[in-house]
């Protein structure tokens, strides 16, 4: 017999252990990122009634867009709906912690901000929340990335990332793309 069966078995066992070790390392890295560094999937579990979004609470029209809350948090609130974002442009400063909160009154949408790792689903009934910090300034494209109907390919918004020195919210804490800076 030319082939040594025990050598084959040894080789197979060795590779099984190497693969098992790689899987274990990846699992440990995921758990470490989640538990020690608090790096988790971008969505949180927060319910909102999609039937009354426009009538009361956080996502009424007057509340949409970017606002600096009294405690200093910078939050952009956006509704993703067939087939547009409201507002379709919002301003955020670079190099600052910012929060984007989105929800949908109709079907499942999804967003990503090009050139960044911002990426989340927007599911009716839930608030999708992303904490991030933009490092580059400019107009970043934010398309819908979940097929939501015939107008899906036309559904996009702009994230206008400005230098912190040009981020001047009004006395009410609000700032919009149309504002003069
Ligand atoms: Cu909204 Cu695709």
DSSP 117: S
Taking a C-beta distance cutoff of 8 angstroms, is the pair 93, 163 a contact? yes
Paired tokens of 89? 């442009």
Residue 108 phi, psi dihedral angles, 5° rounding: -75, 125
* pTM check: above 0.85: no
Q: What is the pLDDT of residue 8?
A: 93
Could you tell me which of 169, 99, 164 has the C-alpha nearest to residue 133? Answer: 99
Q: What is the pLDDT of residue 1?
A: 54
Q: What is the pLDDT of residue 38?
A: 81
Instruction: Name beta bridge partners: 111.
Output: 120, 144
Q: Which atom of ligand 1 is nearest to the CA of 151?
A: 2
User: Cis link prior to 87 (omega < 30° from 0)?
Assistant: yes
Whether ligand 1 lies within 6 angstroms of the CB of 148 is answered as yes
Q: Which atom of ligand 1 is nearest to the CA of 148?
A: 2
* Mean pLDDT estimate for the chain: 92
Could you tell me which of 97, 80, 91, 92 has the C-alpha nearest to residue 144? Answer: 80
């Amino acid at each position: 017999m030319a082939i040594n069966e025990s050598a084959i078995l040894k080789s197979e066992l060795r590779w099984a252990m190497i693969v098992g070790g790689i899987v274990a390392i990846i699992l440990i890295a995921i758990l470490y990122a989640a538990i020690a560094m608090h790096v988790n999937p971008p969505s949180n579990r927060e319910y909102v009634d999609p039937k009354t979004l426009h009538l009361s609470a956080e996502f009424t029209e007057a509340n949409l867009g970017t606002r600096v809350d009294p405690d200093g948090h910078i939050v952009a609130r956006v509704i993703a709906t067939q087939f547009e974002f409201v507002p379709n442009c919002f301003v955020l400063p670079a190099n600052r912690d910012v929060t984007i909160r989105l929800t949908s009154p109709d079907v499942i949408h999804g967003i990503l901000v090009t050139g960044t790792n911002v990426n989340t689903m927007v599911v009716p009934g839930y608030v999708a929340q992303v904490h991030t910090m933009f490092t580059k300034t400019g107009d970043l494209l934010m398309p819908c990335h979940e097929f939501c109907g015939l107008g899906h390919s036309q559904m996009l918004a702009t994230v206008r990332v400005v230098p912190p020195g040009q981020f001047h919210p009004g006395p009410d804490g609000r700032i919009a793309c149309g504002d003069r800076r």
